[in-house]
Structure 1
């Protein structure tokens, strides 16, 4: 099937993401499960799983294509571009990353595991993020850092810490530790991990209440 972004002539489009979020621009490249949109300023890497629809559109003002290559390298053979390959290439690059429900983190990917990322933010510190909840990422240019920080101010100290292969195994490491789920958007998302039973994570909250959270709906985890 022919798609509007597959020709050499890049059409201007509107991309609607689940949750009433829109991006406008040209689809610079695409793979089986990701598109790379240029919106006139940034390259935006969007997993197809979060796209509701794409429609051909007309820009409101004069629109110029990119003058520079994407910060995250794309596949020259046009065969192997995928969300997974982009995440691996994004390791160590400063970026904006959006998670479901409009949670934004700014920093860089430290590790790419089977089904989750280890991300470092100067604000939130180390964060575990399941890949399926990543809505998009936007890399900074090489001369930019989040919050205008310098490399020294960014203050990441490399450790020899190892990470488990998948998200559920990594949760086991957090037993009896104080964590924040989903950026602490609800009070019962903050507590000490007491147990993991199947798909349920048991927390003891500040008021000593036992709370069970569905692991499938954990979008981010911060260790306190």
Structure 2
């Protein structure tokens, strides 16, 4: 991908992203597994695994002025998703995983196949790296929802973290959790077990349902 797009840096592109999303912008940079697009306002850091297709736009198809400033994350060597996430720790960012709702907050920890994200709305969240569609850093003088330090403190999550999301879920047996922002009611329940890549949840009416880990994008705690 990097070699394929290296000659397109500075071109205006339209990309179709997983989740039936389309984004347009100027290609700023390309790394081993991520590209940087400037849409006229923000820098979008997009994992290439979620790019379904792309094409170069004609000059008159869209008007986007080139950025006046450098990308928000400085990097001295090759660009990658993990390096960008590490650079974003403690910075306010917007991330998108699915649906029509973006998440706002900051990264606190990065593990093997997930990262921990603090949202002023949902509090501590576990985000699957595989399902991260894009990341947008805030400009330096903005804060989510205009909250001050007393409402949005920059403190790491006070939980013991496993290296993988699967092991982390096993450790959460007995916890009440919400999966994928509760996009359907059966994605809310108490963790009973994890077996054969399926999470067993006990629902409010004490039914047992099983959710495939491959489709788990976000997890947050109902009582934390």
TM-score > 0.5, shorter chain as reference: yes
SS at 1:85's partner residue? helix
The residue that corresponds to 2:93 in the other structure is: 95
TM normalised by structure 2 equals 0.91
Residue 64, structure 1, aligned to residue 62, structure 2: no
Choose which of 169, 180, 183 in structure 2 pairs with 1:182: 180
TM normalised by structure 1 equals 0.91
Change in CA separation of 1:33 and 1:9 when aligned onto 2, cut-off 3 Å: closer
Choose which of 152, 164, 167 in structure 2 pairs with 1:166: 164
- Give the unaligned 5+ runs of structure 2: none
Change in CA separation of 1:170 and 1:60 when aligned onto 2, cut-off 3 Å: same
Change in CA separation of 1:173 and 1:143 when aligned onto 2, cut-off 3 Å: same
Once the 2 structures are TM-superposed, how far is the Cα of residue 182 of structure 1 from its aligned partner? 0.6
Verify the 8 A CA contact 1:95 1:107 in the aligned structure 2: yes
- Give the unaligned 5+ runs of structure 1: none
Verify the 8 A CA contact 2:8 2:27 in the aligned structure 1: no
- Say what the alpha-carbon RMSD is for the aligned residues: 1.9
Once the 2 structures are TM-superposed, how far is the Cα of residue 18 of structure 1 from its aligned partner? 2.5
The residue that corresponds to 2:25 in the other structure is: 25
- Supply the distance in 2 between the matched residues of 1:141 and 1:108 (Cα, whole angstroms): 13
- Supply the distance in 2 between the matched residues of 1:37 and 1:72 (Cα, whole angstroms): 13
CA deviations on 1:169-214 (whole Å, 9 max, x unpaired) are 1111210010000100111100111111121111110111111111
Change in CA separation of 1:34 and 1:198 when aligned onto 2, cut-off 3 Å: same
The residue that corresponds to 2:47 in the other structure is: 47
Size of the aligned set, in residue pairs, is 220
Verify the 8 A CA contact 2:26 2:64 in the aligned structure 1: no
